[in-house]
Structure 1
């Protein structure tokens, strides 16, 4: 009992006012009022995030995200032009962009979403150019002539022609892509009809819509012909002569709404 008591006593030592010290590596100094650890305090300062730093990080992430998105669109456009719809898959686009499919889907959830990102800038540029020409100080006839010359140039542009064909291919089987195609043609027809009313005040609203529809069909057909290699100067002349006849009202059509 005495040895046991001595052994037990050796682990504890009395201190002033009833305090005690337990002998261990991280001893606790206990008093009647407080307990303080004798572990060494870290001298490292805790890092704090300031609003400016947080904003900088956000801007950096946004810039990186924008670069990734632009890379996806660039390589997707190249894949579409080089391989057509059959090779235009999310897996192929992701591989070409050097990212995972899941990362691609973060920006563009579906294949059609990627296609839309490729095609929409082309459509928007065309419509913006047309609106800019119509809002200029040029006469309506001069604007019309400019648009017809633009149609010939677009028909001879191999990349534009290929994108147009691929859009038609997707629109034939995909409802979302058809909606994009339909929205584009609705806007184009409306704006061109407005121009034709200014070119030929004798046109009724129905006449201008019909004339605009025929001119668009004529331009599309010209692009198809050039896309198959039927490139002749006479074709340009026939296109311009027919377009002018429709716009100026010298080509008569059936009466009716």
Structure 2
């Protein structure tokens, strides 16, 4: 078991629980998609897994070790993290930026060694963006920047990769590139936890889907069992249609317009 979250609860003020009694696990090569509306606690839960925040109760274990007993560099050797948004301040090249992912493996006041450069180059090659290695990150598109962020996380050599809404600011083409990359990394044996607002991601790449609503998991399991019109209406307050599409060879989730402003068959 790579990740085990057991009855975890967290509150910022000690009164209102941001989330409560959350339990799930993640094995090598598995992808878990975490769904839920804004403000329901997804990002806070991720911070507890990363040991940025400490749960008031319950525990988080990574590779059999309690995360609160691990030093920051130990967590960083096990977990790669890709945040929702990264704003480049300094004009680093992509290579220099990805090399920063080697920080947990480099002692204080040391400089990157040949092995560190090799690991960075491997991360570029692994996700097919070697052509970006000399490009300035402040000049990159959103899709390019996101792929470089994933490469930096991979340079850490993690057993667990956490992505917080990795496609939220990307066009549909770059969304599919990121999803395909996630699928390949899971096939290579990395455990992946991904928070997302797109239920279709569950059908595309996930082994397990969980829905967080009002601080509790209202459903978790295979995508076909969890991504239902009933669960999504409870989580998001919208009506959806979930059905199999032959052309896509998979289930899809389609929101139903609440206003009726476009009639059937209209362009």
If the length of structure 2 is used for normalisation, what is the TM-score? 0.25
Task: Choose 1 or 2 for highest CA Rg.
Answer: 1
- Greater RCO between the two (CA within 8 Å, min separation 6)? 2
If the length of structure 1 is used for normalisation, what is the TM-score? 0.25
Q: Which has the higher strand share?
A: 2
